[in-house]
């Protein structure tokens, strides 16, 4: 996947549609702040509900990676979204190597 601009307000930067069943879902991305200030990237891994959330503070010119993990049971076909924001201001964050992967499992046990 090519680099994508991380929006100033929360929006999907990647998605994956899954059928019904039990899933272990992973999302990951590299973020780079091309702006002149420090900013916080916030991302959530969502179906109809939030599965995981992360915050990554990036100074000007700094690159960082994030991984999110969720478990869910889906009753019907559902789209999983990686929603991110850079909060706006003087930051200019791009995301690269963004991926969402899901592993369908027979049963789920999460703690």
Residue 22, judged by CB atoms within 10 A of its CB (0-12, 13-18, 19+), counts as middle
pLDDT, one tens digit per residue, over 60-71 is 999 999 999 999
Q: Which residues of the chain have pLDDT under 50?
A: none
Confidence at residue 96, expressed as pLDDT on a 0 to 100 scale? 97
Q: What is the pLDDT of residue 91?
A: 86
- Characterize the bridge pairing of strands 63-74 and 21-33: antiparallel
| Contact predicate 91/5, CB 8 Å | no
Query: Quick one: pLDDT at residue 109?
Result: 78
**Residue 86: what pLDDT?**
93
| pLDDT for res 1 | 64
* pTM (2 d.p.): 0.92
- CA dist 11 and 35 (Å) reads 19
pLDDT of residue 45: 98
């Amino acid at each position: 996947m090519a680099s994508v601009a991380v929006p100033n307000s929360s929006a999907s930067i990647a998605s994956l549609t899954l059928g019904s069943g039990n899933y272990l879902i992973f999302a990951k991305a590299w973020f780079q702040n091309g702006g002149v200030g420090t900013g916080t990237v916030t991302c959530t891994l969502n179906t109809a509900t939030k599965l995981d959330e992360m915050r990554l503070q990036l100074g000007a010119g700094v690159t960082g990676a994030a991984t999110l993990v969720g478990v869910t049971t889906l009753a019907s076909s559902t789209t999983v979204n990686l929603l991110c924001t850079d909060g706006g201001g003087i930051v200019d964050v791009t995301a690269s190597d963004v991926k969402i992967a899901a592993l369908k499992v027979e049963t789920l046990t999460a703690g």
